[in-house]
Amino acid sequence: MRLIAVPLDVMLEDFDIVIEDDRWAAVDLEARAHAAARATLGHLGLDAEAAEMTLLACDDSRIAALNEDFRGKARATNVLSWPAEERGAVTPGGDPLPVAPGIDGMLELGDIALAFETCAAEAAAAEKPLDAHVTHLIVHGLLHLLGYDHENDPDATLMEGLEREILGKMGYDDPYKENGP
């Protein structure tokens, strides 16, 4: 396993990608991350150029260890998020607390991790391109960094609605649409 840090261009001031698994080369992760961040932050009226965050592209084993360490769940998952600060809504279905720039004017958002095997298996099961599914999961992770959640029905309705709107503007299908007749 190799570790590569890929700093992104000026589209996002401080957005690093750390690639721990070579299989992520199958996805243009830099393009997906940029597009998802610009679309998500822009949709919410935030300046993507002032965003600070890190994306870890790892495998199921690594994310399972992180999931156990941070959530007490010893299993792989598709995406994990660590917000820089707690921004959750005061009431279910309400908007989270706004992101305030730091002294340097930057928006410290936090960290996201994606697991290759789980993401690839979910994309295949849903008959979706891996790029599209990964883009959805980055949008999903970003919304978590911004204080959105899906722990109860009102919060899930709000968050999933935002995901549909953001991904729709990006030209992607509704990620929650059921396949089949």
CA angle 53, 23, 37 (to 5 degrees): 25
Give the CB-side neighbour count of residue 41, counting CA atoms within 13 A.
23
43 is in an annotated binding site: no
34 is in an annotated binding site: no
Q: Locate 51 and state its tokens.
A: 């965003």
Phi, psi dihedrals of residue 39, rounded to the nearest 5°: -65, -45
150 is in an annotated binding site: yes
Helix then strand then coil, in percent of the chain rounded to 5, is 45, 20, 40
Binding residues: 140, 144, 150
Binding residues for Zn(2+): 140, 144, 150
